Chain A
Amino acid sequence: MSLTLEADCFAKHIKQSGVNVLKAINYRYMSENQEPSNTAENQETENTRQSYTEREKVEIFDHEFLPQIDSMYNFAYRLTYDEDDAKDLVQETYLKAFRFIDSFQRGTNAKAWLFRILKNSFINDFRKKSKEPSKVDYQEVETYYNSEDVDASITTDLRVDAVQDMIGDEVSNALNSLAVDFRTVIILCDLEGFTYEEMAKILDIPIGTVRSRLHRARNLLKEKLKSYADSMGYSD
Chain B
Amino acid sequence: MEQLTKESPHYKRCMDLLPSLIDNQASSEDVTYFHTYVVNWPEVLDCYQKETAFREAIRNKLVMLPAPEDLMEHIKQSIASV
Q: Give the interface SS of chain B, mostly helix, strand, loop or mixed.
A: helix
Q: A12 is contacted by which of B16, B47, B55, B72 (Cβ under 8 Å)?
A: B16
Given contacts A66-B72, A90-B67, A163-B54, whether A98 and B18 have CB atoms under 8 Å apart is no
Contact B61 A6 (CB under 8 A): no
Residues of chain B within 8 A (CB-CB) of A69 are 67, 71-72, 75
Interface presence of B23 (CB below 8 A)? yes
The residues in A between 66 and 85 inclusive whose CB is less than 8 angstroms from any CB of B are 66, 69-74, 77-78, 83
Residues of chain B within 8 A (CB-CB) of A5 are 15, 18, 43-44, 47
Given contacts A5-B15, A6-B22, A9-B18, whether A160 and B54 have CB atoms under 8 Å apart is yes
A positions within 8 Å CB-CB of B? 1, 3, 5-6, 8-10, 12-13, 61, 66, 69-74, 77-78, 83, 87, 90-91, 94-95, 98-99, 157-158, 160, 163-164, 166-168, 170-172, 175, 186, 189-191, 193, 195-196, 211, 214-215, 218, 221-222
B71 to chain A, nearest CB (A): 6
Contact B54 A98 (CB under 8 A): no
Q: B18 is contacted by which of A6, A78, A221, A222 (Cβ under 8 Å)?
A: A6
Q: In the docked arrangement, what's the CA distance between A74 and B67, Å?
A: 7
Contact B71 A61 (CB under 8 A): no
Residues of chain B within 8 A (CB-CB) of A70 are 64-67
Q: In the docked arrangement, what's the CA distance between A90 and B68, Å?
A: 11
Contact B58 A221 (CB under 8 A): yes
Given contacts A1-B46, A66-B72, whether A191 and B64 have CB atoms under 8 Å apart is yes
B positions within 8 Å CB-CB of A? 15-16, 18-19, 22-25, 43-44, 46-47, 50-51, 53-55, 57-68, 71-72, 74-75, 78-79, 82
Contact B15 A160 (CB under 8 A): no
Contact A168 B63 (CB under 8 A): yes
Contact A172 B18 (CB under 8 A): no
Contact A13 B44 (CB under 8 A): no
Contact B61 A172 (CB under 8 A): yes
Contact B61 A168 (CB under 8 A): yes
Contact A72 B67 (CB under 8 A): yes
16 A-B interface contacts by CB (under 8 A):
A3-B50, A6-B22, A8-B15, A69-B72, A69-B75, A70-B67, A73-B65, A74-B67, A91-B74, A94-B78, A157-B50, A160-B57, A163-B61, A172-B61, A189-B23, A190-B59
Contact A61 B79 (CB under 8 A): yes
